[in-house]
Amino acid sequence: MLIVFCPNCGPRPVEEFRFGGELPSPPESITDPAERDFDQVWMFNNVAGIHTERWYHDAGCHRWTTVRRDTRVDRIVEQHVSLRPD
């Protein structure tokens, strides 16, 4: 079972969270700010390995957290707390 650490509620099962998506880094070749935003939101790499992802604690405190997850073994390898979006 995958456990996600919630910044308010502590360790919780992944079933309480909603996947918010991968946080890719747009290629340096894209210089237009609007195109970079589009690329970051809609273009995913989806390759096996470590990804930076956003998770939303839907069944709890309604806060976002950022994790780095290894998709090959479905394990969180690093986690960062972030503020709730407005």
Domain boundaries, the chain: 3-81
* Burial environment of residue 10 by CB neighbours within 10 A (0 to 12, 13 to 18, 19 or more): exposed
CATH label, 3-81, candidates 3.30.2270.10, 3.90.1200.10, 3.30.70.20, 1.20.140.10? 3.30.2270.10
What's this model's pTM, rounded to 2 decimal places? 0.73
Tens-place pLDDT, residues 26-46 = 788 888 989 888 877 777 777
Strands (DSSP E) along 1-86, which ranges? 3-6, 10-13, 18-22, 50-56, 64-70, 75-81
Tens-place pLDDT, residues 6-23 = 888 999 999 999 998 887
